Amino acid sequence: MTISIALAQINPTVGDLKGNAAQIVDAAVTARKMGCSLIVYPELCITGYPPEDLLLRRDFIDDSMQALDQVMRSVDGIAMILGHPHRQDEKLYNAASFVLEGTVLGSYYKQDLPNYSVFDEKRYFEAGEEAGVVEFEGVRVGLTICEDIWRHGPVEQSVEAGARLVININASPYHIDEVDRAEQRLPVVSERARTLGVPIVYVNQVGLQDELVFDGASFVVDAAGTLTQRGRYFKEQVLVSEFDLDPDPVPRKAGIESTRDVVESAYQALVLGVHDYVNKNGFTAGVVVGLSGGIDSALTLAIAADALGPDRVTAVMMPSRYTADMSLEDARRQADSLGIDYHIIPIEPMFKSFLDGLGELFKGQAKDETEENLQARCRGVILMAISNKFSRMVLTTGNKSEMAVGYATLYGDMAGGFAVIKDVPKTLVYRLARYRNSIDPVIPERVLTRPPSAELRPDQKDVDSLPDYAILDPILERYIELDQSPGEIIAAGFEPEVVYRVARMVDVNEYKRRQAPPGVRITKRAFGRDRRYPITSGYKGTPIF
């Protein structure tokens, strides 16, 4: 005897209760046609994840419970395990319910509520205490939710209650690391399965929600902890897993999506992030990108074209008196290679108008960053005007290294709706560009090899203002992602003067980052959701005694 279980990697949108319910029903119909008797959905699939402070609204909880009822009434012929918020005795729980023919046969309340990094579930939910075990087709099935699988307790509890198969539903966001994110989850789940002697079904959602991108890659391991099946990365999918019953469930080996390297995964995360953010927020006309001829805007443009299609992307080159001819040539070449609509709007007339208008006030003052920033702000005004007129979202092009040290202009190159590579260090920008060119060489080679420059003054280079990125990025990684002190970084072999200078630049530019648009989170410690530092702070991170 066998049973077929469908793993539904769906892409819900937070708050779109009707749309999420429709996805759930559609997946159930598909799974039923494929001969499945049970379909499993991600964590909080009814509401989308994370709902954040929507969970504090009574009307939202009422409406989400109605959406669950509608799903239950709309699906027959297949059992469902799905995630939803559940209110009981004025307490709110993160729940997983087992539903069959319009009836809830059992529910489980998440016990381990994460409250670190991007998670703050203790703000909203009460923790459950009891195992959730239901019987289906002669099999005792244990229900768990996301973090429960990472901690000893809930899974063991369900097995002690008689579960011979454990289901774990997830909304586990992606981040780049030394190995693929899905490969980080596998050892933990495999160890649980091997130790407890039960197969585990791990279902994860797909898509972007604001800054968090979810990579899917749902999988099944057998009772020995061996991977028997894995779904697609960054793609919606109804994955079917067959289990032999003899009498305990044994998953059959099936297709295993191959792992990919960290650069490929990061690129796919960025493409999916742009696709979902633009479409879920209703920018059907597409996006506009300021294309400078430099590496950051080149990568951003390629990502946008891959995410939305070239017909929904507009590139605008805005040369100034300092723009090199090669920048114009390379920008046009890339736009042409991608088949993107391309425009040139010189900023010299408006830049000169600003200089003339401020001339009397600035008389006797030496030129400095003020004049450089004016050029960036001219460009920001142009892009926002195009956005207003043609309903195209502006994609900003600054990378994480620049965001970290404030090498960006408020209301200039930071002006826009979505910051595609704001969590991508500069050195990774080059690796991503090389990866994209390995598929199709759309970024001119000269863009990859010439020294990076903002081109806001004669012969300007980034290294005039910053340490070389090969030095800067490792310092930033230690200071931002690993929370190391300047002293610890210096002890690792970096020059003290450089370390203190970089740390100071990071600290004093928090006010800029607070005003930056959201962007795809791909590292373990992104600005905003992860790293939350005060703007006003007297702590300098340097020796005080």
Whether 146 is a known active-site residue: answer: yes
Alpha-carbon torsion, ordered 301, 302, 307, 313, to 10 deg: 40
Q: Which of 36, 43, 45, 477 is catalytic?
A: 43
Q: Quickly tell me which residue has 């009891």 as its tokens.
A: 130
Integer Cα distance of 277 and 409 in angstroms: 23
Query: What b-and-e string marks burial along 392-424, b requiring 16 or more CB atoms within 10 Å of the CB?
Result: bbbbbbbbbbbbbbbbbbbebbbbbbbbbbbbb
Alpha-carbon torsion, ordered 339, 437, 400, 324, to 10 deg: -60
Count helices and strands in the chain by DSSP H and E runs: 16, 20
CB 190 within 8 A of CB 226: yes
CB 169 within 8 A of CB 41: yes
SS3 494: coil
CB 535 within 8 A of CB 515: no
Strands of the sheet with 341-344, listed across from one edge = 341-344, 313-317, 287-290, 393-396, 418-419
Q: Which of 36, 146, 211, 402 is catalytic?
A: 146
Question: What would the two tokens of residue 178 be?
Answer: 């030394």
313-317 and 287-290 strand pairing: parallel
State the amino acid at position 538 in one-letter form: G
Q: Which of 45, 110, 211, 477 is catalytic?
A: 110
Whether 43 is a known active-site residue: answer: yes
Catalytic sites, residue numbers = 43, 110, 146
